[in-house]
């Protein structure tokens, strides 16, 4: 289904209303992290294991043609035949011709996402062939008429009552919704399929160039039966599944089961190298017959990706689907809303490569950018980064929508216009403002403030207050230039005041470059790199003039943008690359900087008693800047507070910039889970290190738990200074 005839918003709302789906996904999302952690508890260095997967895959993609040639030679030497399919049409036609040549009428299949990718079953059935899925999950969705909603657990969106209904319809008898009973029914029903099939089609978890073997990792054993019983075996394997040696299978086998299902190893691990004898029934007797093996190496955009510096990362994917298991959006709505076969952030990337950019352009916005996927991925794929890269490619080729382009070029890229509009907004919002919050909005804007209050633009921005809070520091230790970012400057100026108070107390000279503007992250996120460079240059010039020792940030998104994104923006521009490299080296995040200074001064002494305070990890802070212990040390040492940890402190709050507004229907359930965990830990105060998270959580607390207060870490520390 293409983006032109889909109503994504409607599909999202339908899934949000599906209580069965929500229940199944919630239960799995709660159980998965525990199971995975237990599976890894005896692994001394998980990061080293993940590095080994990444490095091996990186090395392989650099010589993928050589590896493919070696794999083909080894398969051929062992009696198999190899066909290289450029795309889905070539694969389907080759397979159909093979069926015609060999007189194949019945086909048994094991699970293969590559065949789902090209709708192979539908094609073969249209040609008059009998095709039966033998993986339990795949069989269930085939009789239900559904697409897979997960790469590993294709029927995760269904509960046992729904499955029993489909079983009853398929088997023409009443089947009770008892899982053990239904598994037995499936086993009995599918047993003959293995024995009667003329051809077995399998996928592969990996293909080894050294010996031409394929590896199959399963829990049901059906893939082993499909690979061994029918007289003809066809293996469909994408180029990204190829690895050089049998030793290279070890890190895959060490991570794939743990990440996919929380198991040390699946029930069946099969290595198949060359055709084995097959059992066929002749004259009522089972006899051995020489087996035929055909391996189809599948391209469909994979080789093109191997030649692109960024996109070649997809070769690091082992198809464990752990990225889906921790994705806040996937665990709300499941996989079907992504339109094609592959779901989640990795699904958006694969859809772009294998199905086309038209489908990508709609579903890519459902990536919230929280990076839990990257944190857990065995191959360390930067999924959000690849999505931003593909967005930029789309903008480069097609441009932005007129309205968005006009705002970016004429407002965000023009500091004076942007800031004047924000000042006007502070006046225009008055009819809807109560204190510092907007609790109700009229007409079609009402939904934005239904379940959360919105922050009001401050009457006086920080840039107009900075002179009042700047002190003359005698013999300062360092000169600090403060980058406020839009939120602190115009929404939460009191955070800026606290930052100044704390840093000046440390005998640091503070300066505020007036020419600074938005960091440009919203523009980068939308893929408009040309405008982003204009904004970045304005900020670089402003802070070069400040001649500071450090550039201080109390917003991790802005800090990460300066430290990483700016460097990437100018990588092909020697002059500006040199200039930003010098400034990026001086970037400092407030909580980590202050924690280090306080540690030197002996101020990080744990306190007991007082208001209970907990901490929410911003995604950009923890997974972007890898800062998470420092804010906790500061809070634990703050007099008048007792620090308590809350569950899932690093789960996204659902803001994610424009996502929180455009997809409010998704943002709100994510926020509600965050508010619930805050309440469950019994905290009186929730501390944050990110103004965007503060904006989101403050709005949720106001509607759902007004007795709990929210403060930036800088405000907590500033309270202690007389």
The answer on 615 and 587 residing in a single domain is no
CA 301 to centroid of chain Cα atoms: 22
Of 302, 325, 344, which marks where a domain is finished? 302
Distance of alpha carbon 395 from alpha carbon 411, whole angstroms: 18
What is the CATH classification number for the domain harbouring 106? 3.40.50.10420
Q: What pLDDT is attached to residue 425?
A: 84
The answer on 201 and 71 residing in a single domain is yes
Note whether residue 378 is domain-resident. Answer: no
Note whether residue 335 is domain-resident. Answer: no
Note whether residue 96 is domain-resident. Answer: yes
The H-or-E segment that residue 188 falls in is: helix 179-196
CA 265 to centroid of chain Cα atoms: 25
Distance of alpha carbon 288 from alpha carbon 94, whole angstroms: 27
Lateral strand order in the sheet of 587-589: 509-511, 479-483, 550-553, 587-589
Of 253, 281, 302, which marks where a domain is finished? 302
Q: Strand (E) positions, 319-402?
A: none
Token pair in block for residue 504: 């000046």
Tokens 């470059």 locate to 513
The answer on 221 and 95 residing in a single domain is yes
Note whether residue 513 is domain-resident. Answer: yes
**CB-CB neighbours of 593 under 10 Å:** 20
Distance of alpha carbon 567 from alpha carbon 578, whole angstroms: 9
Distance of alpha carbon 357 from alpha carbon 349, whole angstroms: 9
What 301-307 contacts at long range (C-beta under 8 Å, 24+ apart), as own/partner pairs, is 301/87, 301/353, 301/354, 302/238, 302/239, 302/240, 302/353, 302/354, 303/64, 303/65, 303/239, 304/353, 305/353, 306/61, 306/64, 306/239
Q: Are 407 and 417 within 8 A, CB to CB? A: no
Of 254, 269, 302, which marks where a domain is finished? 302
CA 718 to centroid of chain Cα atoms: 36
pLDDT digit string, tens, across residues 153-185: 999 999 999 999 999 999 999 999 999 999 999
Q: What pLDDT is attached to residue 427?
A: 87
DSSP 649-678: TTS--S-TTTHHHHTHHHHHHHHHHHHHHH
The answer on 41 and 22 residing in a single domain is yes
- Name, in order, each residue with C-beta under 8 angstroms of 16's C-beta and a sequence gap of 6 or more: 22, 332, 333, 665, 666, 669
Note whether residue 76 is domain-resident. Answer: yes
User: Which has the closest alpha carbon to 146: 138, 129, 4?
Assistant: 138
The answer on 101 and 54 residing in a single domain is yes
Coil, helix or strand for 286? strand
Positions of the chain with pLDDT lower than 70, given as ranges:
1-6, 278-280, 441-449
Tokens 């839990």 locate to 372
For helices 344-354 and 383-398, give the axis angle rounded to 10 degrees: 40
Note whether residue 398 is domain-resident. Answer: no
Q: Are 671 and 421 within 8 A, CB to CB? A: no
Cβ neighbourhood burial of 102 (10 Å; 0-12, 13-18, 19+): middle
Q: What pLDDT is attached to residue 401?
A: 86
Distance of alpha carbon 594 from alpha carbon 576, whole angstroms: 30
Q: Are 386 and 394 within 8 A, CB to CB? A: no
Strand partners, 589: 553
Distance of alpha carbon 624 from alpha carbon 559, whole angstroms: 9
Q: Are 508 and 542 within 8 A, CB to CB? A: no
Note whether residue 673 is domain-resident. Answer: yes
Residue 445 is given by DSSP the state: G
Domain span including residue 712:
603-719
The answer on 649 and 569 residing in a single domain is no
Residue 624 is given by DSSP the state: I
The answer on 658 and 513 residing in a single domain is no
- Helix, strand, coil share (%) of the chain residues, nearest 5: 55, 15, 30
User: Which has the closest alpha carbon to 75: 231, 207, 201, 206?
Assistant: 207
What is the CATH classification number for the domain harbouring 695? 3.40.50.1860
Q: What pLDDT is attached to residue 4?
A: 43
Token pair in block for residue 1: 């289904």
Q: Are 232 and 200 within 8 A, CB to CB? A: yes
The answer on 609 and 479 residing in a single domain is no
φ and ψ at residue 688, rounded to 5 degrees: -135, 160
The answer on 632 and 544 residing in a single domain is no
Tokens 């001064």 locate to 601
Note whether residue 329 is domain-resident. Answer: no
The answer on 495 and 570 residing in a single domain is yes
Secondary structure (H, E, C), 214-225: EEEEECCCHHHH
Q: Are 274 and 214 within 8 A, CB to CB? A: no
Number of domains into which the chain is organized? 3
The answer on 73 and 40 residing in a single domain is yes
Q: What pLDDT is attached to residue 448?
A: 62
Cβ neighbourhood burial of 288 (10 Å; 0-12, 13-18, 19+): exposed
Distance of alpha carbon 575 from alpha carbon 185, whole angstroms: 69
Distance of alpha carbon 95 from alpha carbon 73, whole angstroms: 21
The answer on 193 and 56 residing in a single domain is yes
Q: Are 21 and 162 within 8 A, CB to CB? A: no
User: Which has the closest alpha carbon to 316: 259, 237, 383?
Assistant: 383
CA-CA-CA-CA torsion sign (426, 431, 436, 442): negative
């Amino acid at each position: 289904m293409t983006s032109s005839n889909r109503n994504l918003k409607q599909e999202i709302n339908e899934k949000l209303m599906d209580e069965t789906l929500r229940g199944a996904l919630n239960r799995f999302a709660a159980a998965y992290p525990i199971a995975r952690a237990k599976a890894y508890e005896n692994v001394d260095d998980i990061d080293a294991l993940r590095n080994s997967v990444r490095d091996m895959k990186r090395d392989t993609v650099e010589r993928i043609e050589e590896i493919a040639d070696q794999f083909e030679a080894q398969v051929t030497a062992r009696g198999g035949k190899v066909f290289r399919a450029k795309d889905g049409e070539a694969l389907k036609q080759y397979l159909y011709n093979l069926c015609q040549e060999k007189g194949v009428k019945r086909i048994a299949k094991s699970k293969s996402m590559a065949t789902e990718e090209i709708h192979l079953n539908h094609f073969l059935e249209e040609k008059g062939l009998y095709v039966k899925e033998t993986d339990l999950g795949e069989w269930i969705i085939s009789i239900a008429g559904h697409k897979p909603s997960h790469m590993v657990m294709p029927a995760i969106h269904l509960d046992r009552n729904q499955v029993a209904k489909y079983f009853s319809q398929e088997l023409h008898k009443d089947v009770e919704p008892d899982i053990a009973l239904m598994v037995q029914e499936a086993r009995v029903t599918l047993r003959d399929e293995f024995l009667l099939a003329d051809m077995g089609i399998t996928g592969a978890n990996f293909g080894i160039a050294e010996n031409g073997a394929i590896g199959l990792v399963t829990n049901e054993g059906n893939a082993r039966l499909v690979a061994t019983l029918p007289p003809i075996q066809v293996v469909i394997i994408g180029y990204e599944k190829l690895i050089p040696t049998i030793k290279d299978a070890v890190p895959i086998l060490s991570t794939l089961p743990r990440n996919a299902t929380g198991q040390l190893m699946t029930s069946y691990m099969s290595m198949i190298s060359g055709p084995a004898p097959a059992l066929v029934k002749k004259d009522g007797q089972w006899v051995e017959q020489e087996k035929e093996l055909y391996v189809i190496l599948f391209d469909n955009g994979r080789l093109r990706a191997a030649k692109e510096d960024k996109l070649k990362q997809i070769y690091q994917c082992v198809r464990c689907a752990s990225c889906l298991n921790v994705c806040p959006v996937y665990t709300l709505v499941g996989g079907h809303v992504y339109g094609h076969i592959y779901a989640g952030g990795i699904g958006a990337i694969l859809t772009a490569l294998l199905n086309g950019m038209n489908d990508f352009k709609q579903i890519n916005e459902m990536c919230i950018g929280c990076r839990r996927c990257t944190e857990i991925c065995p191959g360390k794929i930067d999924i959000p980064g690849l999505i931003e890269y593909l967005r930029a490619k789309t903008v480069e080729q097609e441009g932005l929508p007129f309205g968005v382009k006009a705002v970016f070029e004429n407002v965000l890229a023009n500091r004076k216009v942007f800031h004047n509009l924000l000042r006007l907004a502070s006046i225009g919002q008055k009819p809807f403002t109560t204190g510092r919050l907007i609790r109700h909005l009229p007409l079609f804007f009402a939904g934005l403030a239904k379940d959360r209050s919105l922050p009001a633009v401050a009457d006086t921005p920080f840039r107009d207050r900075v002179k009042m809070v700047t002190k003359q520091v005698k013999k300062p230790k360092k000169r600090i230039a403060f980058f406020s970012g839009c939120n602190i400057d115009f929404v939460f100026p009191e955070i800026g005041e606290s930052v100044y108070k704390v840093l000046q107390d440390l005998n640091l000279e503070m300066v505020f470059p007036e020419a600074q503007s938005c960091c440009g992250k919203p523009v980068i996120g939308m893929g408009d790199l040309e405008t982003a460079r204009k904004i970045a240059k304005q900020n670089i010039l402003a802070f070069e003039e400040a001649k500071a020792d450090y550039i201080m940030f109390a917003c991790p998104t802005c800090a990460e943008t300066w430290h990483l994104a700016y460097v990437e923006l100018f990588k092909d521009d020697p002059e500006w690359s040199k200039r930003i490299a010098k400034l990026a080296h001086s970037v400092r995040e407030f909580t980590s900087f202050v924690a280090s200074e306080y540690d030197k001064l002996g101020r990080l002494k744990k306190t007991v008693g007082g208001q209970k305070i907990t901490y929410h990890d911003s995604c950009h802070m923890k997974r972007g800047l890898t800062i998470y212990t420092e804010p906790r040390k500061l809070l634990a040492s703050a007099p008048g507070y007792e620090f308590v940890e809350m569950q899932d402190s690093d789960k996204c709050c659902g803001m994610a910039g424009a996502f929180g507004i455009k997809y409010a229907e998704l943002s709100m359930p994510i926020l509600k889970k965050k508010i619930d965990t805050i309440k469950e830990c019994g905290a009186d105060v929730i501390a944050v290190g990110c103004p965007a998270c503060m904006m989101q959580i403050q709005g949720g607390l106001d509607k759902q738990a007004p007795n709990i207060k929210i403060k930036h870490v800088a405000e907590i520390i500033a309270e202690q200074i007389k």
